[in-house]
Amino acid sequence: MQCGVGDYSCNLAKSLAACAEIQIGVLTSVFDSNESESESEREGLEVFPIMKSWGLAETLKVIKIIRYWSPDIVHIQYPTEEYRDGLLEWFLPMISFLMRRKVVQTWHEGYSRRNVPKLLLKAFVPGRLVVVRPQYKEKLLPVLRWALRNKRFVFIRNASVFPKIALGEQEKDILRRQYLRTQKRLILFLGFVYPHKGVELLFEIADPALDQIVIAGKIMDEGGDYH
């Protein structure tokens, strides 16, 4: 799974499913294979991989699943790679609220000014707002802070989705020598390479004589002006 928010959601769902008194259902995009579905069944999740896209044409599927599964809480994660440019994501909180469900949203990233009109569709829906970055509210655009003035923010730091590994000093030295030449420091960027990520700042900050930069991530819009 390339999307970090998708990985986060998967781990969250598995952790909640471990509680016997909690039932977890996951509405997600169509799987590329049956492997993910069989794994989710072993983890005790009920997964609905039915969304061919997140465009408005798929709205009826969302309504039918909410009616069928009848959740007490609808928890929506933002943003994810699979939403792409679909408009349905912006209406999910309002649809759930109008169907008389409690709504919780988790916002993983900030938003640009051009997204403000669509963000208001999410901001005005009652319910908790979970953020994974410190001082998230203070860094929002003023118009968004106003729209969210009555919403209760809950800060829950995002845990790493990578498994822990134990390496000895010799193993660490071998790995470092694979990437370092004459430099002393190894700087790693892991994630999608979007303009708003500011990856190019690493080249301004790093000293070529001391630092070796490694970018482990998917380059979006390859061949575009940014790259």
Spell out the domain ranges in the chain: 4-155, 169-216
Rounded CA separation 76/96 (Å): 10
Query: pLDDT value at position 155?
Result: 92
The string of DSSP letters for the chain reads ---HHHHHHHHHHHHHHTSTT---EEEEEPPSSSHHHHHHHHTT-EEEEEES-SSGGGHHHHHHHHHHH--SEEEEEE--GGGTT-SHHHHHHHHHHHTT-EEEEEE-S---GGGHHHHHHHHTS-S-EEESSTTTGGGS-HHHHHHTTTSPEEE-PPPP-SPP----HHHHHHHHHHH-SS-SEEEEEES-B-GGGTTTHHHHHS-TTTEEEEEESPBTTTTSS--
**Taking all residues of the chain, what is their mean pLDDT, rounded to a whole number?**
83
pTM above 0.85, yes or no: no
Q: What's the rounded Cα separation, in Å, for the pair 145 and 153? A: 11
Q: What is the pLDDT of residue 54?
A: 93
User: Look-up: residue for tokens 């403000």?
Assistant: 116
Residue among 185, 181, 179, 190 at smallest CA distance from 206: 185
State the fold for domain 4-155.
Answer: Rossmann fold (3.40.50)
Q: What is the mean pLDDT of each run of 10 residues along the chain (227 residues)?
A: 71 86 91 57 80 94 96 91 84 96 90 80 91 88 84 84 79 82 80 76 85 78 59
- pLDDT at position 14: 85
